[in-house]
Amino acid sequence: MTRRILVFLVVLILMACATAAEVPTFPTSATVTQAQDPGNPDIRVWVDTLYGYYHCPNTRWYGATRQGVYMTQKQAQDRGYKPAVAVCK
């Protein structure tokens, strides 16, 4: 009886692992927005270097995170930073 339960649990774990590996990944809305519309390349954004996102002027976290630097939106996008909410217009 114990052996049957053990075999059943192993089969369930293997099925769960196989299912998790087959889950497709979809681009996030920020990635889709950036690919479709790069926004204003010359606008000055605040890049949160700790988390890898940039913030537009007049938003809550613009210049307010612990680690960060100012740069243009184009520079931030070229360096791989993602918009926190949407690209800056």
Flag whether pLDDT at 49 surpasses 80. yes
Which one has a higher pLDDT value, 68 or 25? Answer: 68
Kindly report the pTM of this predicted structure. 0.60
Return the domain boundaries, the chain.
27-83
From the CA atom positions of the chain, what is the Rg in Å?
A: 21
Q: Let me know: does 59 contact 43? Beta carbons within 8 Å.
A: no
**Is 28 in contact with 83 (CB distance < 8 Å)?**
no
Largest interatomic CA distance in the chain: 70
Asked if pLDDT for residue 51 goes beyond 70, the answer is yes
Q: Model confidence at 62, in pLDDT bands (50, 70, 90)?
A: very high
**Cβ neighbours, 10 Å, residue 46:** 22
| pLDDT of 27 higher than 70 | no
Q: What is the mean pLDDT of the chain?
A: 83
